[in-house]
Homo-oligomer: A and B are copies of this chain.
Amino acid sequence: MSADATERLVALRRDLHRHPEPAWCEFYTTARIVEECRRIGVDELHVGRDAIDPDARMAVPDGDELAEWFERAREDGADPDILEQLEGGHTGAIAVLERGEGPTVALRVDIDALHITESEDGDHHPASEGFRSEHEGQMHACGHDGHAAIGVGVLEAVANSDFAGTFKVVFQPAEERVGGGKALAESGHLDDVDYLYAVHLGLDHPTGEVVAGIDGFLAVSHLLAEFEGEPAHAGAHPEQGRNAVQAMATAIQNLYAIPRHDGGATRVNAGRAGGGTATNIIPEDAFVEGEVRGETTELMRYMKEKADRVLRSAAEMHDCEVELSTEGEAPSAESDDELREVFGAEAADVAGVETVTERDDLGGSEDATFLMNRVQEQGGLACYVCVGTDHPGGHHTSTFDVDERSIGIGVESLTNAILRVGEEQP
């Protein structure tokens, strides 16, 4: 990659790093990406509502939060014309290059940030170099700023190559809440894709290592249960209450006790819970916000069905109402060997790559799996790759950072792999 291109991507990454935005609020981020795509010159550019299926979005924040971030993007100088297309939490974009006969190849990157307050420590590179988050309490602590930069970099490299066929870069919102994958999978834009790569930086692999195929995605579903009962004075009329906190407690006890499954690993967590208003009032409302996971999508569904039953029965037991909602979801998926081999082989030849690891397990969840499943169901191939990066703090911590050398490695490895699958069609 030219020094020029590298410099541009680093500058873009730092710009995005200074403006981290949470799920479905990536207004500034999307606008900046769109500007880059326009600069590069693409044949089609699907923005916001045109890039996603709005009805398939999950974990969308409420209107106030959306409006606040929208306004902030405006204040931060995002292009008002682009912003207009994103209003109401319709973020994300898909850039398309139409280069004649050939397969349709796609690259998916995610772009959202986290509710974490970034370190101000002098050792923390973004702090010392002056691109620490300007949105206090928000942070790119999982490298999606780098992912976006890689997406732009690969787009430009392929645009400038003799690639024949169709190439799409999918800039996906709301991965951190597993809320965006489905909206892209159901947008239609993936339905003609023959080969899909998705990429993540880091994952505890250092700069110089790449992992050619990631598997072991736990299918996940985020659930929210809101219990509503009836308040009453706890001293004077305890029998007049319908106790939402008792329903919540019964639910929690039984959620963790959902039977283990012979088919493989399952998980359940009541990660946040609470209720009640005052010491002397029988609690009238309560909630459980949690998640279930499974080694396969079926195992996750098993857990979800059991969890729903527990939550509903716990409400019924204490004469409360309960509203259940799915706040985010992602299936399991597997990387295809053919794409894995291509990436491994091409990455091995890229300057800076010292180790090519054949495969690894994620051991967590990711909603790129929605896109992978979609492509595979339509007869295509999909592969999730990792580009190692030295990260001082762990993912999702306040001292996480990306070694910017890995951006170039990612761009070159992916570009070469994409050009080769364009030619060879594995």
Contacts and interface: CB of A to CB of B under 8 A. Distances in A.
Interface of A: 218, 220, 222, 233-241, 243, 245-246, 248-250, 252-254, 256-257, 259-263, 265-283, 286, 289-291, 293, 302, 309-310, 312-314, 316-319, 327, 363-365
Contacts of A282: 259, 269, 271
27 contacts: A218-B235, A236-B363, A239-B260, A245-B271, A245-B273, A246-B253, A246-B254, A249-B249, A249-B250, A249-B270, A249-B273, A250-B253, A250-B254, A253-B253, A256-B257, A257-B257, A260-B260, A262-B363, A269-B280, A269-B282, A271-B276, A271-B278, A271-B281, A272-B275, A272-B276, A279-B289, A279-B290
Given A253-B250, A253-B253, A309-B316, A272 B263 contact: no
A250 B270 CA distance: 13
Contacts of A249: 248-250, 252-253, 270, 273
B267 A278 contact: no
Most buried by B among A237, A241, A317, A327: A317
A293 B234 CA distance: 9
A276 B270 contact: yes
Nearest to A233: B364
Contacts of A263: 239
B260 A283 contact: no
A263 B278 CA distance: 23
A159 to B, nearest CB: 37
Nearest to A302: B239
Nearest to A328: B279
How many copies altogether? 4
A237 B257 contact: no
Contacts of A280: 269, 271, 291, 365
Contacts of A239: 259-263, 302
Given A252-B245, A309-B317, A313-B317, A275 B273 contact: yes
Nearest to A242: B259
B274 A275 contact: yes
A235 B310 CA distance: 20
Contacts of A290: 279
A336 to B, nearest CB: 24
Nearest to A259: B238
A179 to B, nearest CB: 12
A222 B235 CA distance: 12
A271 B277 contact: yes
Contacts of A234: 267, 269, 271, 291, 293
Nearest to A265: B260
Contacts of A241: 259
Given A234-B269, A238-B261, A273-B274, A222 B279 contact: yes
Contacts of A248: 249, 252, 273
Given A239-B260, A254-B317, A279-B291, 14 more contacts: A245-B252, A246-B256, A253-B253, A254-B257, A259-B282, A260-B266, A260-B268, A270-B276, A271-B277, A272-B279, A279-B289, A309-B319, A313-B313, A314-B317
A211 B399 CA distance: 53
